Amino acid sequence: MNLEMQKFKADFFKALAHPLRIRILELLSEGDKNVNEIQTLVGSEGSAVSQQLTVLRTKNIVTGTKDGNRVIYSLRDPLIIELLQVAKQIFNNHLIDAITMLDKLSESESGDEVE
């Protein structure tokens, strides 16, 4: 893999590396929204949402289209939806592994007890 592709991937994942940006992408995966809709759904101030949307626009992850005095945001590439789903699956796999490990630890500790 060439260095340019690795740099693109690193920059791309840096752009995703914020919980509010992830939440915005999850909302946009359900359909296009304007800033006010996004603010209401995330329960955050306008400046915070606008800042995160700027990062996502700068990295070409979302697009904004003027509609009168509003800007409607949408995902630039629908594959983002799949990426978010894969990340959720990876998280669930880690969670299942952690639960399994805790169960085994709990079983071994209860087996060590003397009555």
pTM, two decimal places:
0.79
Same domain, 41 and 82: no
Alpha carbons 48 and 102: distance in angstroms, whole number: 38
Same domain, 31 and 44: yes
What are 59-90's pLDDT values in tens digits? 999 999 999 999 999 999 999 999 999 999 99
Same domain, 49 and 59: yes
Same domain, 64 and 103: no
Same domain, 50 and 82: no
Q: In the predicted model, is pLDDT for residue 114 greater than 70? A: no
Range of 22's domain?
1-77
Alpha carbons 77 and 81: distance in angstroms, whole number: 8
